[in-house]
């Protein structure tokens, strides 16, 4: 389907490649926008979250994709409906690039209704080298966003249709910025995968160490401390990205965006000073952040509306994105509350397994809430998609000289509310990151979970955090310890067992024959 679009004849009027000052002015005119005490703008959207259940890949070969699909004939119908709609609307066109280095640097375009100028303003902050002149550009990735267009016959009259091969996504009836941002990254990620890479939902930072500069990927489920660990500066460390990065052969790391979109709920100036400083600058944009007068209240969330902030990396002392060394360290963060040690060393196989566990938890969480759940064969297809991503990661890590660790950012011995438990301080987790890249942790072999635990680690003076068994033993709770270990092993193995063992995963997922380890 040819979807080349003549910008000059798009709508009733077109604001073409506006600069930041003009976009700021257009956003100020929105009735849902308010200026904060910091001088930045906060916009309240009608839609409060991304709509996975309204998102479709347009294809006549649904077996190729793990996400839900629609036929191309229906895609053509929707495209015609949207094209007719925008002819009578005032529009904004923003151009720039996704990806920091060729051949993964791709020309990108966002077309959005002028009444939703904040979407254009926020996207411009994330594009590499946004364009303000009249130079010629053939966009490889195009997002057309019409928040005012309702589509009958779809859930909430909302639909996001993605033509991955053509590099076009059409968003109808959603004014949530993350939907437009994700649309571009989804198409970029498809091109990355076709090129042999893999896009990871991961933070990335470069950490100076006694062994040279280390590129660290930080992966974790929500509320595990991924952003805090990624942004916090220690020993001269600097952030590269905290949203998505692409991993390629030989550990090459490519960033898709020149900025970040961050959750603001619970944002603390003392715990997250770098993010807080960027979010409260005049050129940042807020979305769905609650306000008291003109003061944003980052402690409030209502109506399942997660507050977000978008800022450019000029607001952060970030590492030069084109000079990032190859991957050397992979961290998986988990907020445990029982038998997980503060840190554990993972093998190459363990790295792939914990990646799969993270992917599976995101999938099952969506199913549990009914948002984006795909009953019957489509659920099986989702598992195939997870397996394909795991297989690709296994390929990329094969032969790569890297280290992998699991870091518990929660507690041991029970949840923090349990007086018998011990909380793992953030300073401890951050100190462990530095010790891991320095190679100064002394290891003690595998525990009952099959994880290599530490005997001695700088910044951790409590061995019970490193080896939770000792805490349970000292409190006479060994029966509880053994029970929790067994339940975790069963859960891990059950989840991993649901993944189809394709390609290299056949070996990765087979029972370990080395050292009697009993990990996931």
- Asked if the structure places residue 414 within a domain, the reply is yes
Which DSSP category does 63 fall into?
G
Domain membership flag for residue 380: yes
Contact residues for 68 (Cβ-Cβ < 8 A; gap 6+):
53, 55, 56, 57, 374, 378
In contact, 248 and 397? CB cutoff 8 Å: no
User: Which of 181, 196, 211 marks a domain boundary?
Assistant: 196
* Alpha helices, H only, 369-457: 377-397, 426-438
Domain assignment of residue 375, yes or no: yes
pTM of the complete model: 0.92
Task: Dump pLDDT digits (tens) for 447-486.
Answer: 999 999 999 999 899 999 999 999 999 999 999 999 999 9
Q: How many structural domains are present in the chain?
A: 2
What pLDDT is stored for residue 10 in this prediction?
80
The parent domain of residue 410 ranges over: 327-508
- Report the candidate in 239, 210, 236, 235 with the shortest Cα–Cα distance to residue 227: 239
303: in domain: no
Asked if residue 403 has pLDDT above 60, the reply is: yes
CATH number at residue 177: 3.40.449.10
> Is it the case that residue 300 has pLDDT exceeding 80?
no
Domain boundary among the residues 139, 163, 196 is at 196
| pLDDT above 80 (res 305) | no
* pLDDT tens-digit series, residues 189-235: 999 999 999 999 999 999 999 999 999 999 988 889 999 999 999 99
Which CATH number is 405's domain given?
3.90.228.20
CA dist 300 → 227, 240, 320, 436 (Å) = 19, 29, 34, 36
The answer to whether position 129 is within a domain reads: yes
Kind plus residue range of the DSSP H or E element containing 269: none
Query: Is residue 101 domain-resident?
Result: yes
Same domain for 191 and 331?
Answer: no
Inside any domain, residue 260: no
Q: Which residues contact 27 (CB under 8 A, 6 or more apart)?
A: 33, 41, 43, 117, 118, 121, 285
Which one, of 205, 200, 156, 136, lies nearest residue 430 by Cα? 205
- Tell whether 122 is covered by a domain: yes
Which of 138, 173, 196 is the last residue before a domain boundary? Answer: 196
Taking residue 260's Cβ as centre, other Cβ atoms within 10 Å add up to 27
Confidence of residue 510 (pLDDT cuts 50, 70, 90): confident
Checking if the pLDDT of 513 tops 80, the result is no
């Amino acid at each position: 389907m040819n979807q080349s679009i003549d910008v000059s004849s798009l709508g009733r009027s077109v604001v073409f490649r506006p600069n930041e000052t003009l976009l700021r002015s257009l956003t100020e005119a929105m009735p849902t926008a308010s200026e904060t005490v910091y001088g930045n703008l906060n916009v309240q959207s009608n839609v409060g979250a991304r709509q996975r259940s309204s998102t479709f890949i347009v294809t006549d070969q649904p077996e190729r994709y793990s996400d839900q699909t629609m036929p191309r004939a229906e895609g053509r119908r929707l495209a015609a409906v949207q094209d007719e709609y925008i002819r009578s609307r005032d529009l904004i066109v923003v151009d720039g690039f996704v990806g920091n280095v060729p051949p993964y640097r791709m020309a990108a375009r966002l077309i959005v209704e002028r009444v939703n100028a904040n979407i254009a303003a926020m996207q411009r902050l994330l594009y590499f080298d946004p364009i303000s002149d009249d130079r010629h550009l053939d966009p490889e990735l195009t997002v057309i966003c019409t928040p005012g267009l309702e589509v009958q016959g779809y859930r909430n009259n909302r639909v996001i249709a993605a033509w991955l091969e053509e590099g076009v996504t059409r968003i109808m009836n959603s004014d949530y910025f993350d939907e437009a941002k994700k649309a571009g990254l989804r198409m970029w990620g498809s091109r990355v995968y076709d090129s042999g890479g893999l896009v990871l939902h991961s933070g990335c930072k470069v950490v100076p160490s006694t062994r040279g500069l280390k590129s660290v990927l930080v992966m974790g489920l929500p509320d595990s401390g991924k952003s805090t660990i990624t942004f916090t500066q220690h020993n001269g460390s600097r952030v590269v990205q905290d949203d998505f990065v692409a991993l390629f052969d030989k550990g090459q790391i490519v960033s898709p965006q020149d900025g970040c979109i961050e959750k603001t709920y619970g944002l603390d100036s003392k715990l997250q000073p770098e993010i807080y400083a960027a979010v409260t600058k005049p050129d940042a944009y807020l979305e769905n952040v609650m306000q008291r007068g003109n003061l944003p209240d980052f402690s409030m969330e209502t109506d399942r509306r997660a507050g977000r902030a978008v800022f450019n990396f000029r607001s952060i002392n970030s590492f030069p994105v084109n000079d990032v060394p190859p991957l050397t360290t992979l961290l998986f963060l988990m907020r445990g509350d029982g038998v997980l040690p503060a840190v554990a060393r993972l093998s190459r196989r363990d790295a792939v397994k914990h990646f799969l566990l993270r992917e599976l938890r995101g999938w099952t969480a969506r199913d549990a809430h009914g948002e984006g759940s795909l009953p019957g064969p489509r659920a099986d297809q989702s598992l195939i998609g997870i397996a394909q991503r795991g297989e690709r990661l296994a390929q990329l890590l094969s032969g790569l000289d890297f280290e992998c660790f699991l870091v518990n950012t929660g507690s041991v011995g029970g949840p923090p509310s349990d007086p018998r438990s011990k909380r793992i301080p953030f300073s401890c987790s951050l100190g462990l990151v530095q010790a891991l890249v320095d190679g100064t942790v002394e290891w003690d072999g595998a525990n009952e979970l099959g994880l290599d635990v530490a005997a001695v680690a700088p910044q951790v003076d409590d061995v019970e955090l490193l080896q939770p068994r000792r805490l349970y033993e000292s409190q006479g709770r060994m029966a509880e310890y053994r029970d929790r270990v067994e339940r975790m092993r069963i859960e891990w193995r059950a989840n991993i067992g649901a993944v189809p063992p394709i390609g290299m995963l056949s070996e990765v997922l087979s029972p370990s024959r080395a050292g009697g380890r009993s990990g996931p």
